[in-house]
Structure 1
Amino acid sequence: MVGARAVVDVHGAVAEGFEPVREAFVRNFEERGERGAAVALYRDGRKVVDLWAGSADGDGDGGAPWAQDTAQVVRSATKGVAAACLLLLHQRGQLDLDAPVGTYWPEFKAAGKERVTVRDALAHRAGVPALDAPLHPAQAQDGNSGPRALAAQAPFWAPGSDHGYHAQTYSWLIGELVRRASGGRSIGRYVAEEIARPLGLDLWIGLPAAEERRVGRIAAVETPPSPAAAGLRTRPKRNVTEAYEDPASLTRRAFGAIDPPPEENDPGYHAAQLPASGGIATARSLARFYAALIGEVEGPGARLFAPATLTSARTPESEGPDRVLVVNTRFGLGFMLHGPAAPLLSPGSFGHPGRGGSLGFADPGEGVAFGYVTNGMQQNVTADPRAQALVRALRECLR
């Protein structure tokens, strides 16, 4: 029950000066309905927080404990990893951000989308956040039906003229661009070969069957009545929750581009390559990924983004009223930027939350990278109260 004090054994380590993060992590279990979770932080390329606790099966009371190697579906926090793939292809001269998507994917030119650029696709300006005919989960996961449906889809607004969160269609838009620009590699393979393997990450878009045993089981939990949970649910007068309840709204159609919703605890879903929502990671790997975007990291691997790429990633491309999320949002090239809808550490932060909990981001000015994953999915879109409590504690450590 939310509000009841729970006794939880916290495992892992915290460097001196970051004890407030551990305290906030414990309070999440005591006061904010946490079931099973992990949090990790890097500072100047060095891991300074690595904590885990609770139940891996989502029941929060007994059951299989969250282990050091437990990984979790991170929902839309996957979008930041997917965006990095396109930015790496651009950095290596294999992709022009200002070229039409149709340059790489000719079929996408149909139905008035010939002028949609790669930059538009990353910044949620492509105009195709929904499908006229939603896909069944089996179609969404087969690797072909999604790109084919999106290529044929007419835009919901003049591409490039406005922005709206591509909640599900981002999977096929970004995934297909990676495949076309990389010489035929799927986005899951690209992540494995260019990001996860070099950096030693437990992070996948398309989970290998041998790793299925490690995945925590998602469970829906009650959202505590806390101001920190407000996120997209309190302003403006018509909020995202109300918009979602309207079957005719673009919000409902965007989140419902896969209908019925896929079963997120199904191994088939874990194996699918859905870069909008289906990534699986540990907190330490999510944090390490962001640390490698902004600088050198200890251990295997090297910095991923050159300084110019890092600047491009977090330069605002879309700001203002979001046609899908119905509040003001801010996006760089595939990454959400700090703001009221998605509070991160500071105005210089960039990253991506996952609906219901997970969060990954980096703050180059502070040299900080953050990863939080949970299997207790609450009813919020971007500003999860547990993640925000951890971010506030981090901010306290840096004063």
Structure 2
Amino acid sequence: MSTVAGFCADEFAEVRTVFTEQVESGAELGASLCVTVDGEAVVDLWGGYVDREQTTPWGADTLVNTFSITKTMAALSALLLVDRGELDVHEKVAHYWPEFAANGKADIEVRHLLSHTSGVSGWDAPIELHDIYDLEASTARLASQQPWWEPGTASGYHAINYGHLVGEVIRRITGRTLGKFFAEELAEPLGADFHIGTAAGLHERIADLVPPEMPEFDVSLLPQDSVMYKTLFQPMLEFPECNTAAWRQAQIGAVNGHGNARSIARVQSLISNGGVLGGRKFLSDKTIDLIFEQQSDGVDLAIMVPLRFGIGYGLPQPQTAPQVPDGRVCWWAGLGGAFVVNDLDNRVTFAYAMNRMAPGLIGSDRADAYLKATFAAVRG
């Protein structure tokens, strides 16, 4: 039977109990869980196995594809540039990236990209998954498209192209790709083992994803001109592909960041710890306040669930994420169950990453159990 390793402060003992139950019962295959308070880890747990055959234990430095947790790293990279005065979220995207003005997109603002309200939530067909590995070509395609709805009026989750859009703005300003900028400005200074474009030498530490049992679904029943269809099926994520070297090495800043709970919490605790970490101030209060400027609140056009977006993060939405507490809180989730929450009221960051994916686009029963135990301890 798999055991749980790591440490847990006494006041979070229930978190360890719940995590151990999920690992030992086999509900988890392999997973990691981390909670920071004031930027310091108070829970850092891992357990289970990296492979379906359960031959290799999940280790302290095991990495896994965290899917859309990657978007929070892209958003934070953009906020760094905002803080330095190099990027204005209320400026037109075309100010930084002139080609983006084509086909009715001249008035789209940077905040619309960061909050999934730009109208450009995916690619016009035909497009294959491999096509998006070519950053230059696939990003140029986005610049030439028409928006699929009126920008700024609603969110349509930028499921697979968020990093292409935000990353191109970053590249136009800095000359560096999102993966390179994130590594040099966030991951390396913070000592965080999180990668957008994971070098081949690290692949032996990556746990294999085990896709969820999905209900049989006839895609042809969806209207092919719907935002949902065009966003989620042009191209469609293919789970076996997500275990390949080509996928891992590509820079897909929406969905292929590789890390673990510790590295997610390390980077994201910049937000909950007031922009300061490791004795260095990365973000001002004014920049952090931008996250909480609500950009949309309603049923998302792409994934058809109620969402509230600030700039770069989701804001509390009890229908969709019932265990995310209210208050000055921002969060996001990765496909299959990975989760991050920044609770600024309590200077707490929660992070969870795993390899056995649950069905559903946001959260899982396991994530909910850990969130509930964590915030019961934090908020009493």
Judge same fold: TM > 0.5, yes or no.
yes
Residue in 2 aligned with 1:38?
32
Equivalent of 1:100 in 92, 96, 107: 92
Residue in 1 aligned with 2:320?
341
Rounded to whole Å, the distance in 1 between the matches of 2:89 and 2:199 is 31
Are residues 362 and 272 of structure 1, via their aligned partners in 2, closer, same or farther at CA, if it must alter by over 3 Å?
Answer: same
Quote how far apart the aligned CAs of 1:301 are: 5.7
1:192 aligns with 2:170: no
Residue in 1 aligned with 2:222?
246
Identity percentage over the alignment?
34
Are residues 347 and 297 of structure 1, via their aligned partners in 2, closer, same or farther at CA, if it must alter by over 3 Å?
Answer: closer
Residue in 2 aligned with 1:91?
83
Residue in 2 aligned with 1:136?
128
SS in 1 for 2:349: strand
- Where in structure 1 are there 5+ consecutive unaligned residues? 1-6, 224-232, 234-240
What is the letter of the counterpart of residue 22 of structure 1?
R
Residue in 2 aligned with 1:68?
60
Residue in 1 aligned with 2:101?
109
1:325 aligns with 2:303: yes
For 1:337-376, what aligned pairs fall within 5 Å after superposition?
337-339=315-317, 340-343=319-322, 344-376=324-356
Instruction: Check the 8 A contact 2:271/2:344 in 1, yes or no.
Output: no
Residue in 1 aligned with 2:255?
277
Quote how far apart the aligned CAs of 1:45 are: 1.9
What is the letter of the counterpart of residue 346 of structure 2?
E
Instruction: Check the 8 A contact 2:211/2:356 in 1, yes or no.
Output: yes
Equivalent of 1:172 in 153, 164, 181: 164
Instruction: Check the 8 A contact 2:339/2:351 in 1, yes or no.
Output: yes
Quote how far apart the aligned CAs of 1:27 are: 2.3
Quote how far apart the aligned CAs of 1:186 are: 0.5
Rounded to whole Å, the distance in 1 between the matches of 2:126 and 2:292 is 32
**1:288-320 deviation digits (Å, cap 9, x = unpaired):** 112122327998463432111111112321111
For 1:257-272, what aligned pairs fall within 5 Å after superposition?
257-259=234-236, 261=238, 263-272=241-250
SS in 1 for 2:207: coil
Rounded to whole Å, the distance in 2 between the matches of 1:31 and 1:78 is 29
Instruction: Check the 8 A contact 2:274/2:283 in 1, yes or no.
Output: no
Quote how far apart the aligned CAs of 1:28 are: 2.0
Residue in 2 aligned with 1:307?
285
Are residues 242 and 315 of structure 1, via their aligned partners in 2, closer, same or farther at CA, if it must alter by over 3 Å?
Answer: farther
Rounded to whole Å, the distance in 1 between the matches of 2:325 and 2:280 is 24
Instruction: Check the 8 A contact 1:12/1:51 in 2, yes or no.
Output: yes
Please report the RMSD computed on the Cα atoms of aligned residues, expressed in angstroms. 2.2
For 1:41-52, what aligned pairs fall within 5 Å after superposition?
41-52=35-46
Rounded to whole Å, the distance in 2 between the matches of 1:274 and 1:111 is 24
**1:127-155 deviation digits (Å, cap 9, x = unpaired):** 01122214223220111122111011111
Rounded to whole Å, the distance in 1 between the matches of 2:116 and 2:258 is 23
For 1:373-384, what aligned pairs fall within 5 Å after superposition?
373-384=353-364
Rounded to whole Å, the distance in 1 between the matches of 2:143 and 2:41 is 42
**1:93-130 deviation digits (Å, cap 9, x = unpaired):** 10111111011111111110110000111111110112
- Where in structure 2 are there 5+ consecutive unaligned residues? none
